[in-house]
Amino acid sequence: MSALVPTHRLAYDDHATPADLQRDCRETRAALPATDADAIAAAARRPAPSLAYAARRRDLKPQIQVSEAAARLAAAIYQD
């Protein structure tokens, strides 16, 4: 088991000031490639999905299409 190495900064610091949090956001955005940052910003602006029952997808299971040839092969292989 490896020993933990103490750091001067916590992963999530409850006592960070708003200015520190804003600086962290600016540094993170500057470190991201432009396409990733734009995609993240676009995703953040999208509304959250609805939790209403009526908004749920009805087609959760894919429909399987069996061709006539496959049905004949299965019948020939598994005939009693």
By the 10 Å C-beta count (0-12 exposed, 13-18 middle, 19+ buried), 32 is classed as middle
User: Given this model, what pLDDT does residue 35 score?
Assistant: 74
Q: What is the pTM of this model?
A: 0.31
User: Given this model, what pLDDT does residue 5 score?
Assistant: 63
User: Given this model, what pLDDT does residue 69 score?
Assistant: 94
Q: Tell me the C-alpha distance between 38 and 14, whole Å.
A: 28
pLDDT string in tens for the chain (80-residue length): 556 666 666 666 567 788 888 898 888 878 877 777 788 888 889 998 888 888 887 777 778 899 999 999 999 998 85
Distances (CA, A) of 32 to 19, 25, 50: 20, 11, 30
- Half-sphere exposure (Cβ direction) of 10: Cα atoms closer than 13 Å: 6
- What single letter denotes the amino acid at residue 64? I
